Structure 1
Amino acid sequence: MKHLAALNKYFWKYRKRFFIGIFFVTASNYLAVLAPQITGFVVNEVGRRLPGARPMGTRPVHDILVDQFISKIQSFQFSFGWLVALCSITILLLAALRGLFIFFMRQTLIVMSRHIEYDQKNEIYNHYQRLDTNFYKTHSTGDLMNRMAEDVSRVRMYIGPAVMYLINLVTLIGFCVFNMLRKDVHLTLLVLAPLPLLAVTIYFVNSIINKKSEKIQALLSDLTTNAQESFSGIRVIKSFVQEKAMLGFFKKNSEAYKKNAVSLAKIEAVYFPSMALMIGLSTLLTILIGGIQALNDSSKVGLIVEFVIYINMLTFPVSAIGWTASMIQRAAASQKRINEFLETKPIITNAPNATTEPVSGDIVFNDVSFVYPHTGIKAIQHFNLHIKKGNKVLLLGRTGSGKSTLAQLLLRFYDPTSGNITIGGAALNNIDLRTLREQISYVQQDVFLFSDTVTDNISFGLAQAATREKVEQAAGFSSVHKEILGFSEGYDTMIGERGVTLSGGQKQRISIARALIKDPEIVVFDDCLSAVDAKTEHEIISNLYRYLHDKTAIIITHRIFSSFRFDNIIVLEDGGLAEQGTHDELMKRNGYYAELYRLQLTEETAEK
């Protein structure tokens, strides 16, 4: 139960519903144990009024409410027919009233579990969003989804049905056993003797269920991940004709899940036959021992009937022990997996005294080095750079030279392994994360669009909905406005998942529009024009030159934009600064930049 202790805060939050639910459970079970006593009284009355009946040896003990009911009936001296009719009506009314309380019980406890499920999913989702980039590089999407969906669902089964049935069986068993003990201690102990064997069985079976539940949930995560990756990469699968291979892989994972699930089902199947056996033995003992006692005392006939009803009333609660225990074990296994994530602390957090002042000023990389924690790759080594406010900087370099890493360090997706970065003299880790990222627009290499309208995708980064005029202006700067107008519903056209309905160039330009509409202080473009043709690229660069006139801009690319006048051009090599200067200065140096420029110029001339 230590893993489920994390849910206590929710029980406390909804304590009013919880305690009202306990009241309804207790009240319904109290009413349930009154009916057998009235039935026992009727049976004894039948025996007493039969011709030649022997006098009763002892007066049966009843609940105070039943005693008052019996006294009232006896005071009126009803005929036998009326007596039975009144007792039957009373038992019917008790059943109806109990049913009403059971309805209220479910309305409080089950509804409470839905509220807690809602809160827990929100807590997990919110925690996922606070976790840093490194976390998502080491955990699969399928596993994350499974923990928030399947695991939370199993935890809800504990919060709602399991807790409800647990309280129900404890109170009902308590009332039944209490009434049985005060009527005949010796008979009670004998008829309940088989039940400790049941407890031992439950203990051993539960330990097995717990282990198997953990394994099954892990296998389900693998299965979900497999399916999610197949759906996301369906075009790759089809283009390489790997449908059969992927199906075989899915079948393998599915088979492992099925075998373990079937094995768990077989273990759980031990519960119900065990319950039936123990209850059957208890009923037989009641009739056998009670029958022997009834030969000497006719009042014991009603007691036997009462005990048999109690034993049968205990059938569901006792059988529910196994079911409830199984749900609790499964929930514990699922909550353990949830706790693992909730206890994961994000590495990138706000400093206690983080400033919320708007980001502005020079950007300084001071002896920055960075090693990716999950791979050990040295991406940046002793890098120094000063970018003045309003400067336009071109960042060039071969693949793997560390260009994208610098952009991610600037947005604090990671913190440098050594060295520091400042903006306007303030250390990056002393700037509030929300403030920092609101003031920087970042267009990544791997463009991501949401399954939403074009308008909503462009205005995604804004705190308030943008006007259509502002959206169209941003689209115009990124040279995608005319193409959007050609869509079936224009700016209201729904984009498929991850922008699957658009071309690569269209996705890139919409992502640029999304960055520009924020009107940030700093703009970072990470190779975001790789999928557009030369003419469109030239048009976008011209637009950007006008848009970025008063902004600090870092443009990361493999190509040289000859029509864009950069204040500084940086060439990276193996995570370090290889070349730095203006276009003219680097051409005179005749290094990597000059070589790349001449090669690109030759290609453009050949294309013409």
Structure 2
Amino acid sequence: MARPTTLHGALPGLRATAHRFRDHIGEQRRLLVLGLIALIAEVGFRLLEPWPLAYVIDAVVAASGSELATRQADLGSMTLLIGVCAGGLVVIVALRALMSYLMTICFALAGNRVLTRVRSELYAHLNALSMSFHDRRRTGDLVTRVTGDVGRLQEAAVTAMVPLVGNLLTLGGMLVVIALLDWQLALVVVVVFPTFLLISTRLTKRIVRVSRGQRSAEGNLASLATESLSSMAVVQSYSLESRLQERFGGSNQRSLADGVKAKKLSAGLERKTDVLVGIATGLVLFFGAHQVLTGKLTPGELTVFLTYLKTAFKPLRDIAKYTGRIAKASASGERIIDVLDERIEIIDPSWARPAPAFRGYVRFEDVHLAYRPGHPVLRGLNLSIQCGQRVAVVGPSGSGKSSLMSLVCRLRDPDYGRVRIDGHDLTDLTLASTRRQISIVLQESMLFATSIRDNIALGSPEAVTDEQILAAARLAGAHDFIIGLPDGYDTVLGERGATLSGGQRQRIAIARAAIRDAPIVILDEALTGLDPDTETEVKAALDRLTRGRTTFVITHDLQSARDCDLVVWLDRGQVLTSGRPDEVLNASGDVVVGSSR
């Protein structure tokens, strides 16, 4: 779909965004109505503001043309009039300031509430999207949509759209008033508008185009920064700093160039508008003074005319000022809706029921799975796992081992075929009740930047006690090193658990899995990358965790597979062979092809 390149073309994007979040906006209707009333009142007071000065000028001019005795006699009444006008001006300005304050607070509060809900909805939607979506999207770009794009919408709503609407209402009101004062002089003002529209249309088109390019560059920057900062060990180990800095610098420079270009275009439009305002003011001053001399207009009314003229053109300058913001907000709204319109693939059907307590009998029936059409990962796979059985799933990289496990915990659903636990088709059970009964320990265990206590407790969907956390840590062999830390279980970890060793991270991950007390456990390369001593400790902890539970051990280490009850060798998405370790593996640990049972 072609991107709009004019301010007018960007407005449908904002309307679509507002329509998409109409329910959230409707929840704030009281604040919005109050803000609208304050906006209209503020415009009314802004229209009244020049009139006290006009009355004073007309009174002074009239008094200066009368006889001296008359002027002395009217001095008291003149002083009273000037005092009333001065006081009235103060009251008008104060009320306008109050209305402006109320308007800003109401719209800002409503906008912040709406966009806070939008951010929560977007984050929840991202969490619900399948792994196939996350596999093809860049994390940095998604983070930018959750944080930067929502913030951009917030900025446009509060600091651009509301002032622009207020100024346009003021412009309309002032044009009505000056037309009533002197329609001929009003025509002098109106004749400037076609020139402004001609200039602004050409420049705003370029501003919108450059602003969209800048927003895209910012998303690329965020993705590059996220990827490099989350892989700092690799970056430094391979001395990639200068190469990545060069890539980042190039993208950063493009973003800077687009930003500067947008600012130059906006500033140029503002200055051209200032020149037009100057021309219009000069014309009004010339023809208005002539109208005063002929008695068709009073000096005070000419003052109002000139004041209105200066104020009336402020919206035109603001169009240049806010065009970039509104264009970026339109792009941000489209990027947010683009994610929210992504279909959630793994859902609970209307007939789904809570899963009963699993015993752990798992069966794959003619399972097919492809990440991309025409590129199958699993091809008609059939496999049965008995309750409490420990199964090693081995095979070359890309054979479908991890894909098989993603089906068990419904990170993905098969394209064809069924996955059953205890005879129940997983698609007939609710996601939460199924996943609650499966524990996973990965090769690179993800820990969160919170306390060790909280990291372990995250394994349980229900509230847990300190005694349960301690028991899980002891089972995982983690208790001794945890109490040796400065703050014990309250020690706050670095991002991704970076402040701990690999073995310590794994043992906390095992404790997190243990507290779940699930009948099915998946170990995905859980021992890979550990030194021999640490591997022995972690292996002992895993043995305690999986005792009596149906366990899938995904591994490349065929020697580790000898400790399992069943070995399943996958190749190209199919079971090449399966059986007891002594049947499938020879003395050297290699697979014996042809022993499938």
Q: Same fold (TM over 0.5)?
A: yes
Q: Counterparts of 1:67-466 in structure 2 under 5 Å? A: 79-297=77-295, 299-358=297-356, 360-361=358-359, 362-373=361-372, 377-466=375-464
Q: 1:48 aligns with which of 38, 62, 68?
A: 62
Residues 191, 282 of structure 1: 8 Å contact kept: yes
Cα shift at 1:274: 2.1
Q: 1:558 to 1:593 in 2, by over 3 A?
A: farther
| 5+ residue gaps, structure 1 | 54-75, 600-608
Q: 1:150 to 1:388 in 2, by over 3 A?
A: same
- The superposition leaves residues 275-296 of structure 1 with CA deviations (integer Å, 9 ceiling, x where unpaired) of 2112212211211111111222
Q: 1:2 aligns with which of 12, 16, 25?
A: 12
**Is 1:35 matched with 2:55?**
no
Residues 585, 591 of structure 2: 8 Å contact kept: no
User: 1:540 and 1:331 mapped to 2: Cα distance?
Assistant: 50
Q: 1:351 to 1:112 in 2, by over 3 A?
A: same
**SS of aligned partner of 1:370:** strand
Aligned to 2:8: none
User: 2:115 and 2:368 mapped to 1: Cα distance?
Assistant: 44
Residues 477, 537 of structure 2: 8 Å contact kept: yes
Residues 355, 434 of structure 2: 8 Å contact kept: no
Q: 1:11 to 1:548 in 2, by over 3 A?
A: closer
Aligned to 1:60: none
Residues 443, 526 of structure 1: 8 Å contact kept: yes
Residues 360, 389 of structure 1: 8 Å contact kept: no
Aligned to 1:69: none
Q: 1:539 to 1:49 in 2, by over 3 A?
A: closer
Q: 1:394 to 1:51 in 2, by over 3 A?
A: closer
User: 1:597 and 1:43 mapped to 2: Cα distance?
Assistant: 103
- The superposition leaves residues 346-394 of structure 1 with CA deviations (integer Å, 9 ceiling, x where unpaired) of 22222221121335252110111222228x6543222111112333322
Q: 1:174 to 1:457 in 2, by over 3 A?
A: same
Aligned to 2:589: 596
Cα shift at 1:194: 0.5
Residues 180, 307 of structure 1: 8 Å contact kept: yes
Residues 479, 536 of structure 1: 8 Å contact kept: no
Aligned to 2:595: none
Cα shift at 1:564: 8.3
How many aligned residue pairs are there? 571
- The superposition leaves residues 105-135 of structure 1 with CA deviations (integer Å, 9 ceiling, x where unpaired) of 1111122222122112111111111111111
**Is 1:499 matched with 2:492?**
no
**SS of aligned partner of 2:405:** helix
| 5+ residue gaps, structure 2 | 1-10, 68-73, 593-597
User: 2:297 and 2:60 mapped to 1: Cα distance?
Assistant: 11
Q: Counterparts of 1:462-473 in structure 2 under 5 Å? A: 462-473=460-471
Aligned to 1:18: 32
User: 1:226 and 1:26 mapped to 2: Cα distance?
Assistant: 46
User: 1:318 and 1:562 mapped to 2: Cα distance?
Assistant: 74
Cα shift at 1:174: 2.2
Cα shift at 1:524: 1.0
Q: 1:209 to 1:359 in 2, by over 3 A?
A: farther
Residues 538, 563 of structure 1: 8 Å contact kept: no
**SS of aligned partner of 2:12:** coil
Aligned to 1:58: none
Q: Percent identity?
A: 29
User: 1:543 and 1:445 mapped to 2: Cα distance?
Assistant: 15
Cα shift at 1:299: 4.5
- The superposition leaves residues 58-99 of structure 1 with CA deviations (integer Å, 9 ceiling, x where unpaired) of xxxxxxxxxxxxxxxxxx995222221221111111111111
RMSD: 2.5
User: 1:371 and 1:594 mapped to 2: Cα distance?
Assistant: 35
**SS of aligned partner of 1:2:** helix
User: 2:211 and 2:337 mapped to 1: Cα distance?
Assistant: 16
Q: So what's the TM-score if we normalise by structure 2? A: 0.89
User: 1:42 and 1:538 mapped to 2: Cα distance?
Assistant: 94
Paired amino acid for 2:274: A
